[in-house]
Amino acid sequence: MKELESAKAWYVLHTYSGYENKVKQNLESRASSMGMEDNILQVLIPEEETVEEKDGKSKTTMSKVFPGYVLVEMIMSDEAWYIVRNTPGVTGFVGSHGAGSKPSPLLPEEVDQILRSMGINPRKVDMNVTVGERIMIVGGAFEGMEGIVSELEKEKGKIKATVEMFGRETTAELDYNQIAKVNN
């Protein structure tokens, strides 16, 4: 199973603009009907929340970050590649040089950045910290400082900690990979 874990990667599909949701739906149903759920794992349309002002009222909507593109997490095989490539609305893979060549996957850092911007924790980090516990900040703007955990946001992979700066308490929002436990 470890071998399969390392083989899975994120790829970018080019679609007809405005057909992103239809492609996602088609791809998920094709993967299911053709028994490819073990190879075609997730289909995402990167979206962000935008606030529009109209007639003095603000309205929150979701807008596509990359119109005309869909992300798919898959284990690349000839069969999976064929199914995805021939899904209605898909015009091709980004990073494929044509002539039947397999595409290049996104770099892990690129995927992490996209997922974080959507409020999804890219990597589930299992750090056993509790509210009220003292931590050392090992990355980011507060690096080198100690803090006390004030809130856990496990689904986002973040914590909030109280740190003392200039004689005042300040709340810092940190990723789990920016903190370390302090051994008492």
Does 1 have pLDDT greater than 60?
no
CA distances from 93 to 33, 54, 106, 140, 184 (A): 22, 38, 11, 35, 52
Bridge partner residues of 153 (DSSP): 158
pLDDT for the residue 3: 43
pLDDT for the residue 116: 76
Domain boundaries, the chain: 2-117, 134-181
pTM for the predicted model, two decimal places: 0.61
More confident residue, 137 or 140: 137
Q: In the chain, where do the E strands start and end?
A: 8-15, 40-44, 47-54, 57-64, 69-75, 90-93, 134-137, 146-153, 158-165, 168-175, 179-181
47-86 confidence digits (pLDDT tens): 887 888 888 888 888 888 889 999 999 999 889 999 999 9
Domains 2-117 and 134-181 share a fold: no
Q: What is the DSSP letter of 105?
A: P
Q: CATH assignment of 2-117?
A: 3.30.70.940
More confident residue, 29 or 178: 29
More confident residue, 175 or 44: 44
Q: CATH assignment of 134-181?
A: 2.30.30.30
Q: Mean pLDDT over all residues of the chain?
A: 84
Cα Dmax for the chain:
64
What's the average model confidence in pLDDT over 81-109?
A: 85
What's the average model confidence in pLDDT over 92-120?
A: 80
> Smallest Cα–Cα separation from 44: which of 60, 62, 28, 61?
28
Distance CA 128, CA 49 (A): 31
